[in-house]
Amino acid sequence: EEIDSTNRLVRDLARDGSPEGTVVIAREQTEGRGRRGRGWFSLPEKSLVFSLLLRPTSIGPVHCPQIALVSALALSLSLERIGLLPGLKWPNDVLLGGKKTAGILLESSLERNEVNWVIIGVGINVNMEEADFPPMLRGKATSLRIEKGEFVEKEQIITSFFSFFREWYARWRKPGEDRALQEAYTRRLVGKGEPIFLRGTGEVLEGRMEGIDEEGALLVFTKSGLRRFQWGEVSFCAAQKRQ
């Protein structure tokens, strides 16, 4: 019902040995966590916040971040199913009309260089109206309701997310199937071919976004040539409106 953070609870459950597939969905989250130490704003009834536990043994730790891309793609497909046209901001933000409508926080634990568990935390702005967002988020955040112009059933979104996630997670785990994820993700990637800044790599880098490679890393053409990044935060040089 009400909880500080679904990721925090699932992490405790993971440590206590809960199996893969454990899911916690909260009606209200009081200390939602976002990426880079930020918080996550949510409202009871109007937000969807949940976390899923995976135990992907037999994948190398370097492949873990790709699970965030699989999740973002599954979210995007769920929104497309209700007639919306989302874009993916690498690595794992889902945008509508250039504004953020969902975020994903991936946390993992390694033991002797093996993946012990991965938690996917998902927050979706479902039925907020403009005035529901705190002033600092206005203009940057949106909701499914705002973009669709009508109330959206949370159950429908969560059901289709889990079904798309199951499908794409299984596909991603099959050897030689990386290409399918790369293609489906790239088709929805926001900012391809555009000038960007990339932060979080120790420096702020400027370049042109080329796309992602088969491992989900971002390819950026910089003044020192083509470079690949496994993490970082993209911002767009031109603050235009996009899908």
Instruction: List residues near ligand BTN by CB under 6 A.
Output: 5-7, 32-35, 38, 40, 49-51, 93, 103-105, 121-123
Considering the complex, state which of residue 32 and residue 191 has its C-beta at the smaller distance from ligand BTN.
32
User: What is the spatial distance between Cα 230 and Cα 220, in angstroms, rounded to a whole number?
Assistant: 11
Q: In what order do the strands lie in the sheet with 218-222?
A: 225-229, 218-222, 205-212, 195-199, 233-236
22 or 227: CB nearest ligand BTN: 22
Q: How far is the CB of 124 from ligand BTN (least distance, A)?
A: 8
Nearest residue by C-beta to ligand BTN? Answer: 103
State in angstroms the smallest separation of the CB of 149 from ligand BTN.
24
C-alpha 125/C-alpha 215 separation (Å) is: 28
Least CB distance from residue 221 to ligand BTN, whole Å? 26
Tell me the two tokens of residue 73: 């793609």
Q: Which is nearer to ligand BTN, 87 or 103 (CB)?
A: 103
Least distance (Å) from ligand BTN to the CB of residue 38?
6
Q: Which is nearer to ligand BTN, 125 or 160 (CB)?
A: 125
- Of 162 and 221, the one with the shorter C-beta distance to ligand BTN is 162
| DSSP3 helix / strand / coil % (the chain, rounded to 5) | 30, 35, 35
As measured in angstroms, the least distance from the Cβ of 33 to ligand BTN is 4
For residue 107, CA distances in Å to 2, 84, 144, 167 come to: 21, 28, 26, 21
Handedness of CA 72, 79, 129, 100 (dihedral sign): positive
Residues 162-172: b if buried by 16+ CB within 10 A, e if exposed = bebbeebbeeb
